[in-house]
Amino acid sequence: MWDRIRAVRDSLRGVTNSPYQSGDPRFGPLPPSGQYPPHPGFQPPTQPYGAPPPYGGPIAGGMYPPGPPFPPQRTKKRAWVWVSLVVIAVVVAVSAFLIMSKMVDSLPPSAAITTSDDVAVGECVRVSASEGYLDAERVPCGTKDFHFVVADKVIDESNCGPEYSRYWFVHARPGTSETLCVAQVYQQGRCYHEPGAVGGTALAEIREIDCDGPVLKPGATNFRVDTKVSREPTCDPGQGLYYVPKPTPAGYCVSLLE
């Protein structure tokens, strides 16, 4: 029996719990006493790099087997895939830029008028007042709402003529912006109110009104357009006459509202 125990003891001699066994060709020599064995695949900074244990070998502490220390080298096929994706992205970006540029170019210009360069002779404008100043914006000349038409642009406002109203830009330096000579555009059969004042924001106060409800203000005029023609009109006695030769001839015969 002692011989059997001695044989078993001799067969177990040198077996430990460490995964690093002396003489095991899969691992290097057992680390010196007092040092923990390094994690498979890594070496202490002061030691030269050694080969990691083969994939699938024993792992200390029950850790999952580490993957390869470096990712596999990309093949040429994968490189071409990335190049193709980059080319596609560039093409899409350029196409989107061209589409956006066309959309911006197709947008109509702003209707706001800030200088005489923003509107041409023959175009129509609507005038409003804000904080004591006049604002103008372009409108379609075919609108039936009350508006003005630009008859001329002059440097000296006195050159507009007595039949035209004048719109100038108070924020512009002298001589840098022209004055707009504008004519009222009325519709036959409709009624309008004009203030007694001619300066300030008076242009914004000209408006269409209900023919049965004249606006009673000192010096103001309320009238109905009886006739509108494309020439100088011939009006009946008792009617008022308003005629503008530019930009296209327009004549009106009007009657005062009681």
Burial 81-117 (b: 16+ CB within 10 A, else e): eeeeeeeeeeeeeeeeeeeeeeeeeeeeeeeebeebe
Q: How far apart are CA 96 and CA 218, in angstroms?
A: 61
Tell me which residue of 39, 182, 81, 177 sits closest to 124, measured CA to CA.
Answer: 182
- 3-state class (DSSP) for residue 147: strand
Q: What's the pLDDT score for residue 87?
A: 66
Q: Where are the domains of the chain?
A: 112-256
Q: What's the pLDDT score for residue 115?
A: 87
Q: What's the pLDDT score for residue 100?
A: 57
The residues facing 133 across adjacent strands are 130
pTM greater than the 0.85 cutoff: no
Tell me which residue of 74, 85, 82, 183 sits closest to 127, measured CA to CA.
Answer: 183
Q: What's the pLDDT score for residue 172?
A: 53
Q: How far apart are CA 199 and CA 36, in angstroms?
A: 99
Full DSSP string of 21-70: -TT-TTS-SPPPTT-PPPPTT---TTSPP-PPPPTTS--GGGPPPP--SS
Residue stretches of the chain with pLDDT short of 70:
1-87, 89-110, 170-176
Q: What's the pLDDT score for residue 133?
A: 87
